[in-house]
Amino acid sequence: MVELGAKASALSRPFARLSPALRARLGILCVALLAVLFPIIHGNDADIDSAANALAFAALALGLNIVVGFAGLLDLGYAAFFAIGAYAYGAFASWQIQPHWSAFWEPFQWLTLVARVHQPTGDLVHFQVSFWLMLPLSAGIAAFFGILFGAPTLRLKGDYLAIVTLGFGEIVPIVARNTPSITNGAMGLNGVVPPQLFGYSFGVKALPYYYVAVALIALLIFTSYRLKDSRVGRAWMAIREDEIAAGAMGVDRVRFKLLAFAIGAAFAGATGTLYVAKLQTATPDMFMFPVSVMILVMIVFGGIGNVWGVVLGAMILQILQSWILEDMSEWLHALGRLIDVGWLQQIQLASSIELIFGVILVTMMLYRRQGLIPATRRTAPLSLEEQAAQIQRGGFRSLQGLGTVDRSQTDTLLAIKGLTVRFGGLVALRSVDLTVPAHGVVAVIGPNGSGKSTLFNVMTGLVSAEAGSINFAGEEIRGLAPHRVLERGIARTFQNLRLFAGLSVLENILVGMHARLKTGAVGALARLPWNRREEREARERALEILALFGNRLLPRADHLAGSLSYANRRRSEIARAIAARPRLLLLDEPTAGMNPAETLELVEQIKSLNQLGLTILLIEHKLDVVANLADKVIVLDHGEKIAEGTAAEVRRDPEVIRAYLGRSAAVA
């Protein structure tokens, strides 16, 4: 009976037997075939033209998706890069700029980049740089401007970033309008040279542009996917999810944000060149705010962060605009004639496309923020066996996943001297001294608000100190950016948990390894053998680290970190920090929110980490944990160190008893 049912379902879903990877490949093949065959099946030139335009906008949507969807940087002036790419081709392949001929141009003529035009008043230069050369060149120029515009905005919060990008998005068309010598101003460019391929000029027919657009889209989808599933994509998503945690886990935020701006802009630059070659003119109006909004609507509609989603969103909206609304208007006119209603015969739905965009934007935001195809996938529920936690005692059983710890340092690993931090008038830390011996465990205790977390924040570069020094392994690290601190070997967890909630547990761990991996944007695209090996090894190691916690994390490797229980979030944060291969591990209240059994389990695990050679500095409230773990205890109160010693010594210190344990203990 069961077998029959299974067979029936297998018969009804013939693709269910195929592996997901194979199914995905088949799907892509079908889409590609459809794209290639479309003009052959459907020969209408106007429709092919619309399809080519739709593809151009899909390309823009893919570019904006890198910036907004992957890196989480809302860019409201994205059309500026489209404009830059368009005018780049427009300037280098049109009759717009015609300097006088001189010997300087001869090598360029030889390279066929320019032509000599004979004029009675003197010979002129005609720029005719090949479209195929300009395509990557425009991408490069736009990427340069992406970095230029992105650089000043890096420190800004999301909504202000949006405003500044909007400003740049406005300035570019205005500059285009006001510099007619290069752009011919509001009149638009003259005589843009159509692309040629092996002597065949594309002219004004839509078909060749359509195929170029298909190829471009294929390239951009490929690029998007390769980047997304790489060290680069994970760094972007980490920034998107929690910038501070991303920095603390070793992501160079400046660099990766600029990279996102640059790659996003490059997509738009190449698309601009294609678009202007197809239209053979460009006016500033083509790149104004409404265009930026339209691209934003496309990615919101399709699903921010989802590559196929944004392509689909762009295609649907473009097709809506150029086909469906026209047809619907015709039907309404016919209806109007039929029932003799004047205004129905007048209606032009296509002119209300922007209204429809606005309605779509608001509706999606209110009712389906994740878009048509959400970027995050569902995960299968766990089996009962997987859910039942196996309590592990005695620390980590296997430690090979941790790799080796540098045991060369034998004396003091961390020495803090005279550290003072001030927030406005409040002194958070006052001249604190602290040393952590290599391979030791030091605990910092003190009431809430006594400056413990500030101590961690200043060590990891999140807060700047007013005075003092932080010496780590013989090197001054005070004032280093968070990712530099991590690179030197200090990894931390956060009291309030800063996992990347929208990433899977495994991805969280992989972000933790960021500083220990090397693949950059080029490597992510090329996937050379060493990139593949690095990625494979990283994933293996990440799974080994998850496996340290028994079946607590491993079955949930593909679950979103935001869906974990409190204790598992704590474990994941520790796992993420371990993944960075630190020499010094900073744990901020690792057992907060855990029950006694879980606490005991974790204490033993921390102990085994220490036995492996890891130096540990922890903040803790549960004093039994401290007593069990720490070789040395530092007591902070009101930002000052009031005691230091073994747990037993600290306990006898009258100052500590008064500040920390209250007056009854002082009496007792």
Map the footprint of another protein across residues 133-162, applying CB under 8 A.
Answer: 152-153, 155-160, 162
Helix (H, G, I), strand (E, B) or coil at 502: coil
Give 378's DSSP letter. Answer: P
Choice from 394, 418, 479, 654 touching another protein (CB under 8 A)? 394
Token pair recorded at residue 434: 């602290």
Contact 36, 285 (CB under 8 A): no
The kind and range of the H/E element at 627 are: helix 623-629
Closest separation in Å from C-beta 615 to another protein = 21
Six-digit token pair at 19? 């592996």
When the beta carbons of 154 and 543 are compared against another protein, the nearer one is 154
Pick the closer one to another protein by CB: 255 or 369: 369
Per CB under 8 A, 378 contacts another protein: no
Contact residue for another protein among 333, 422, 539, 621 (CB under 8 A):
621
Which range of residues in 28-36, 46-54, 269-277, 288-296 is near another protein by CB under 8 A? 288-296
CB 661 to another protein: min, Å: 5
Answer whether 610's CB lies under 8 Å from 441's CB.
yes
CA–CA gap between residue 320 and residue 306 (Å, rounded): 21
For position 631 contacting another protein by CB under 8 A, the verdict is no
Shortest Å, Cβ 86 to another protein: 20
Piece of the chain touching another protein by CB under 8 A; list 120-128, 314-322, 535-543, 646-654 = 646-654
Quick one: which of 422, 443, 438, 466 has its CA closest to 636?
443
244 in contact with another protein (CB under 8 A): yes
CB of 178 to another protein, least distance (A): 5
Three-class secondary structure assignment of 522-585: HHHHHCCHHHHHHHHHHHHHHHHHHHCCCCCCHHHCCCEHHHCCHHHHHHHHHHHHHHCCCCEE
Is residue 654 near another protein by the rule CB under 8 A? no
Choices 206-214, 400-408, 448-456, 578-586 (CB under 8 A): range interacting with another protein:
448-456
- Exactly one of 43, 107, 418, 562 binds another protein (CB under 8 A); that residue is 562
In the numeric block, the tokens 């994740």 are attached to 370
Q: What is the DSSP string of 438-491?
A: TT-EEEEE--TTSSHHHHHHHHTTSS--SEEEEEETTEE-TT--HHHHHHHTEE
Q: Which residues contact residue 539 at a Cβ distance below 8 angstroms, ignoring those fewer than 6 apart?
A: 506, 510
Place of tokens 């890069």: 81
Which is closer to another protein, CB of 70 or CB of 211? 70
Q: Which is closer to another protein, CB of 153 or CB of 460?
A: 153
Distances (CA, A) of 589 to 27, 141, 624: 48, 49, 13
Of these, 22, 26, 111, 362, which contacts another protein (CB under 8 A)?
A: 362
The reply to whether 566 sits near another protein by the rule CB under 8 A is yes
Per CB under 8 A, 484 contacts another protein: no
Tell me if 651 contacts another protein by CB under 8 A: yes
Site for another protein in 396-425 (CB under 8 A): 425
Say how many C-beta atoms besides its own lie within 10 A of residue 466's C-beta: 13
Residues 588-617 that bind another protein (CB under 8 A): 589, 592-596, 600, 604
Angle between helices 253-279 and 131-150 (to 10 degrees): 140
Using CB under 8 A as the binding rule, whether residue 661 contacts another protein is answered as yes
Q: How far apart are CA 598 and CA 621, in angstroms?
A: 15
Instruction: State the Cα–Cα distance between residues 606 and 484, nearest whole angstrom.
Output: 25
The binder of another protein chosen from 32, 335, 341, 359 (CB under 8 A) = 359
Among 554, 494, 477, 542, smallest CA distance to 249 is for: 494
Could you tell me which stretch among 117-125, 175-183, 278-286, 400-408 binds another protein (CB under 8 A)? 175-183
Q: Does 547 bind another protein (CB under 8 A)?
A: no
163 is a site residue for another protein (CB under 8 A): yes
Among 351, 387, 400, 404, binds another protein (CB under 8 A): 351
Interface region with another protein, contact rule CB under 8 A, candidates 13-21, 203-211, 482-490, 659-667: 659-667
When asked if residue 393 is in the footprint of another protein (CB under 8 A), the reply is yes
User: Which of 295/521 has CB closer to another protein?
Assistant: 295
The least distance separating another protein from the CB of residue 161, rounded to whole angstroms, comes to: 9
Please identify, using beta-carbon distances, which residue of 99 and 593 lies nearer to another protein. Answer: 593
Which of residues 26, 174, 338, 382 is near another protein by CB under 8 A?
174
Structure tokens at 593: 């929110």
| Minimum CB distance to another protein smaller for 284 or for 468 | 284
DSSP H or E stretch at residue 226: helix 206-228
Considering the rule CB under 8 A, would residue 357 count as an interface residue with another protein? yes
Q: Which stretch binds another protein (CB under 8 A): 11-19, 21-29, 529-537, 562-570?
A: 562-570
Integer angstrom CA distances of residue 107 from 110, 125, 490, 649: 5, 12, 55, 83
Minimum CB distance to another protein smaller for 361 or for 554: 361
Query: CA–CA separation, 446 vs 639, rounded Å?
Result: 9
The region of 43-51, 69-77, 209-217, 272-280 touching another protein under the rule CB under 8 A is 69-77
- Cα distance between residue 275 and residue 58, in whole Å: 12
Stretch that binds another protein, among 128-136, 381-389, 537-545, 561-569 (CB under 8 A): 561-569
Strand, helix or coil at 94?
Answer: coil
From the list 47, 123, 326, 624, which residue makes contact with another protein (rule: CB under 8 A)? 624
**Residue placing its CB nearer to another protein in the complex, 89 or 456:** 456
Furthest-apart CA pair in the chain: how many Å? 109
* Binding residue (CB under 8 A) for another protein from 13, 17, 118, 663: 663
Question: How many residues make contact with another protein (CB under 8 A)?
Answer: 84
CA 257/CA 236 separation, integer angstroms:
7
Which of 447, 520, 555, 613 touches another protein by CB under 8 A?
Answer: 447
- Does position 330 bind another protein by CB under 8 A? no
Position 516 contacts another protein (CB under 8 A): no
Residues 209-238 that bind another protein (CB under 8 A): none
348-380: b (≥16 Cβ within 10 Å) or e: ebbeebeebbeebbeebeeeeeebbbebeeeee
